[in-house]
Structure 1
Amino acid sequence: MENIHIESYSIDIKLSAEKSELSLIYQLKITLLHFKPKVWRRVLSTNCSFHDLHKIIQSCFEWKNMHLHEFEVRKSNGVMFPKSDSVLIGEMNDINSELFYNWEDEEDLMLDEETEEIKDWIIKEGDKLLYRYDFGEDWTHEIMLEAILPSNNKEKYPMCVKAVGIAPQDNSRALFHTDSNKSVEKSNDLNLLQTINSKFQTKQHGTPLWSDLLHLAKEFKTLKLWELLDDDQIFAIQMTVDNTYIYCSVLGSASEVFGLAAFVGDEGWQSLQEIISGQQEDSLQQRSLLLSFCNRDELDEEDYQIIKESDFSFRGKHAWPQFRSFIPRYLPWSLDNNEIDVFCTVLEQAILIGKSVINDNLVIPHYPNGLIPARIWQDDEWRQSFISIPSVEDRQTEAPPPVTNELAVYGARKKYKKMTQAVEMALFPFIEPVQDQPDERPYFPMIYVMIEHNSGIVMDTQIMQHENITAFAQESFLGSIDALRSIPSEIWMTETTAHYLQPILKILDIKVVVVQTLPLVEELKQSFLEHSVFRH
């Protein structure tokens, strides 16, 4: 079949100070040397570590990663490297650091592929690397930089744009040495191209790739922004899909938890405000995404498998990335595909903000002073700007919710008299999560409770059976009235609970005492904790 030809892009670009390495694409031609017929690949990739480049080559040539490998720098920034001054780049784990690798000269410079990045070695068109795989069979590949291109936001990288020839299999060199007439399988280059790119785009944990997120987390960690910023120095990132803002707080200035907390939208901003002001300590009430760098023994098995299957490795204290999604009244959980995509964007832009702090002396004010630095999506490109501190509507000015069952409310007013006792009433999430299906995210059911204020007797409790908290609060309260056959004359409750019941309280002419805490309710919560009355 005739080869499908994809033209090599050639473009002269100028790098502005604001451009990140993440926005540049390296066009590489990777050729298997000393093999006929010709086998080569043209690959587009963002800047990456040499370890990631190793994985790209393994996928492109369908190697099985069964043997040792190394890179050698042959030409960098237009300058050829003589063999007497070899620069080798490879794995530096505890075993391979002693075996490494193909040393013929003890003066060869040896570098770690986990930390070395291609942007530092292939700089000008024509720069070359060698990649050796399987030192017994010596499969040697030449990697040549053909061009540096601007990124296309609609594409996923890495991407193979041309593939010529099927590579030999692992452990097959002897076949080609001993049988000169051995036939080589002819390639269908279009099918080969599709096979390679399907490997780039398919991972067990879905698309977008976990490896993208882990790579960004690794780059973010190198900035060590917690040494420069406190957790109340907030910056914002605008999402390109719906223009929602993500409000970011760098964690680690207190040397306890290191990472990045990203609070999503208005709900997340309100949580962040309450955390900074000390009003909220319960992470179960947040809407946020969290990256934290923890120790190996602090990872769940799923966290470790994600890292292992993405072929990343981390070493040391506070080095292993862990990602969590927080949604009010749900158990903290692993990220879904949409959240991975969001966090990739957040980290990409957070890295740019961090570099502006380090290199350009960007000042991020302490909350609540001044404007918030922001990365905004405008005219199909990212720009650095400032936004005003968002205002969160106060409960006193927020419109009350509608009455869910007006007939029942007016029926109760006509049917029942007021009781003389005051009561405490509260809504709160139960202490134990419930998981309806094995693969579903566990949630914390909402508990409704009414307690007689003077005696402390629990008059009624209900557990939420649906998602609508307003409907649950109103239906439970009306159910208590029916069960007691009387209407409380005075109710003590928090501002949030009062908001859910506001229209009913007005119709029934009930006196409301709004308080910050309810001592009797707190005692009941403690009793639940000790005895697990509602254990599922």
Structure 2
Amino acid sequence: MARRQPKLPSVPLPVWQELLVAANAFRTAQPWTWLDDADIFAVIDDDGRPWFPSVLGSAGLVFGLALHRGESGLRFLAETVPALEDSPRDAAFLQDALLLEWGAKQDLAPEDLSVLAALGHRPRSRERHAWPSFRSHSPGWFPWHFDEAEARAFTAGTRALLACAELARGQPDFFASCALDGAVLPTVTMAATRQGPLQAAQIEWRRWLLPPLPSPPAPTVPPTWRALAERAKNSQCVLEFDIFHAMIPSSDGGRPYFPRLGLMVDGKTGYIYTMELASPDRAWADLVTIVWEKALTALRDRPAVIVIRRPEWVMALQPLADRLDIRLELADELPFIDEARDSMERHLGG
């Protein structure tokens, strides 16, 4: 049976036209010649939602604009990007942004070329970085085509960014306050950027503080776990547990996604007791419960310790561990989990 092709979002051609006009204005302005990707503004849309634009191109490799969404977008910029050298493979699953890249025609999907043809986009022959690609990045989901709301948001965000960039252009020390305090960002409403040339007095230098990552909802302890809790405890048995995204794009007929993979392995031998895949729509607590139950059922005895590495999970997992009288430990490294993940990614070509 042939696999169903995911249905693309429907965006009216006039909305695409406005988006292309804004993207062309961005390319013509070339703000990457005086801004780099660390020069971040905060722009507030008409509904009060913050966006954090980042200009790409100062390194001469990728030319475009990333419009990071809300708290998750700011967290990606503040916490994930600085740690890219330590965990580069996780970054792709965490980005929450609308992205424009100007590149080569051969890099575009047929659907992109069809829209651009309908808009009459015809760059000069051999013109470099002349073909725009628009993609929506959401945590856990495969980069996908804009829907109408995203296209409108990106159009507005691009125009706002250009107004901000022009203001910063004439002030070499514009971002000096940000260098002193990384949480301080030049903040402006999109409405202000539409009133004519942006003025310095319209900028608010606001501190954007990120709250700690919240603990996910705690799983419900199933009644069937009573039998597991009554098993003899093996004081030598230590398990490693983690959930991460697998580099295996999947689709159930809708937007493709990167499935989450729940893994429970022996902390001394690396033996894999459970490996469970889940879509982004599946509740984290449900995935935890099924992974723990399958692993503990496969064991003859109760483990003494389960090791995790995500501090924000402790509060949610502690009731499960307490119910089974298993000690929960935090560690910076899960060597056998990482070994299993490396092996799977090599096998799958990730």
**Which of 99, 108, 114 is matched with 1:290 structurally?**
99
Q: Which residue of 1 aligns with 2:17?
A: 211
SS at structure 2 position matched to 1:375: strand
Amino acid at match of 1:374: T
Q: 1:525 to 1:219 in 2, by over 3 A?
A: same
Would you say 1:394 and 2:180 are equivalent positions? no
Q: Which residue of 2 aligns with 1:416?
A: 231
Q: Which residue of 2 aligns with 1:25?
A: none
CA drift of 1:215 comes to 0.6
CA drift of 1:370 comes to 6.1
Q: 1:378 to 1:256 in 2, by over 3 A?
A: closer
d(CA) in 1 for partners of 2:96 and 2:28?
27
d(CA) in 2 for partners of 1:448 and 1:208?
44
Would you say 1:311 and 2:123 are equivalent positions? no
Q: Which residue of 1 aligns with 2:188?
A: 375
Q: Which residue of 2 aligns with 1:431?
A: 247
Q: Which residue of 2 aligns with 1:333?
A: 144
Q: Which residue of 2 aligns with 1:233?
A: 39
Instruction: Give the TM-score normalised by the residue count of structure 2.
Output: 0.82
d(CA) in 1 for partners of 2:123 and 2:332?
45
Amino acid at match of 2:19: L
Q: Which residue of 1 aligns with 2:3?
A: none
Q: 1:526 to 1:371 in 2, by over 3 A?
A: closer
Q: 1:506 to 1:288 in 2, by over 3 A?
A: farther
SS at structure 2 position matched to 1:403: coil
Is contact 2:55-2:64 (8 Å) kept?
yes
**Which of 456, 464, 469 is matched with 2:270 structurally?**
456
d(CA) in 1 for partners of 2:207 and 2:81?
14
Q: 1:254 to 1:340 in 2, by over 3 A?
A: same
CA drift of 1:218 comes to 0.7
Instruction: Give the TM-score normalised by the residue count of structure 1.
Output: 0.55
d(CA) in 1 for partners of 2:13 and 2:304?
56
SS at structure 1 position matched to 2:143: coil
Is contact 2:103-2:129 (8 Å) kept?
yes
CA drift of 1:208 comes to 5.8
d(CA) in 2 for partners of 1:377 and 1:498?
40
Is contact 1:286-1:326 (8 Å) kept?
yes
d(CA) in 1 for partners of 2:252 and 2:31?
40
CA drift of 1:298 comes to 1.8
Q: 1:406 to 1:458 in 2, by over 3 A?
A: closer
Structure 2: 5+ residue stretches without partners: 1-9
d(CA) in 1 for partners of 2:302 and 2:211?
31
Measured on the aligned residues, the alpha-carbon RMSD in Å equals 2.9
Structure 1: 5+ residue stretches without partners: 1-203
d(CA) in 1 for partners of 2:273 and 2:221?
22
d(CA) in 1 for partners of 2:345 and 2:169?
47
Would you say 1:264 and 2:69 are equivalent positions? yes
Is contact 2:188-2:203 (8 Å) kept?
yes
CA drift of 1:254 comes to 1.4
Q: Which residue of 2 aligns with 1:518?
A: 334
SS at structure 2 position matched to 1:447: strand
Is contact 1:434-1:442 (8 Å) kept?
yes
Count of residues in Structure 1 that have an aligned counterpart in Structure 2: 325
Q: 1:287 to 1:307 in 2, by over 3 A?
A: same
Q: Which residue of 2 aligns with 1:62?
A: none
Q: Which residue of 2 aligns with 1:403?
A: 219
Would you say 1:299 and 2:117 are equivalent positions? no
CA drift of 1:472 comes to 1.3
Q: 1:57-456 to 2 correspondence within 5 Å?
A: 205-206=11-12, 209-241=15-47, 243-279=48-84, 281=88, 282-315=91-124, 316-359=127-170, 363-365=174-176, 366=178, 368-369=181-182, 371-376=184-189, 384-395=202-213, 398-399=214-215, 401-405=217-221, 407-408=223-224, 411=226, 414-419=229-234, 420-437=236-253, 440-456=254-270
Amino acid at match of 2:207: I
Is contact 1:208-1:341 (8 Å) kept?
no
d(CA) in 2 for partners of 1:353 and 1:443?
34
CA drift of 1:516 comes to 3.5
d(CA) in 2 for partners of 1:526 and 1:273?
27
Is contact 2:305-2:326 (8 Å) kept?
yes
Q: 1:485-496 to 2 correspondence within 5 Å?
A: 485-495=300-310
d(CA) in 1 for partners of 2:56 and 2:332?
28
Is contact 2:97-2:138 (8 Å) kept?
yes
- With a CA cutoff of 8 Å and minimum separation of 6, indicate the structure with the bigger relative contact order: 2
CA drift of 1:356 comes to 1.0
Larger Rg: 1 or 2? 1
d(CA) in 1 for partners of 2:116 and 2:97?
22
CA drift of 1:479 comes to 3.3
Is contact 1:412-1:482 (8 Å) kept?
no
CA drift of 1:363 comes to 1.1
Is contact 1:491-1:513 (8 Å) kept?
yes
Q: Deviations over 1:427-479 (max 9, x none)?
A: 11222111111xx2111221111111111111121122652123211332133
Higher helix fraction (1 or 2): 2
Amino acid at match of 1:348: R
Q: Which residue of 2 aligns with 1:78?
A: none
Q: Which residue of 2 aligns with 1:478?
A: 293
d(CA) in 2 for partners of 1:381 and 1:216?
13
Would you say 1:467 and 2:278 are equivalent positions? no
CA drift of 1:482 comes to 2.9
Q: Deviations over 1:57-98 (max 9, x none)?
A: xxxxxxxxxxxxxxxxxxxxxxxxxxxxxxxxxxxxxxxxxx
SS at structure 2 position matched to 1:333: coil
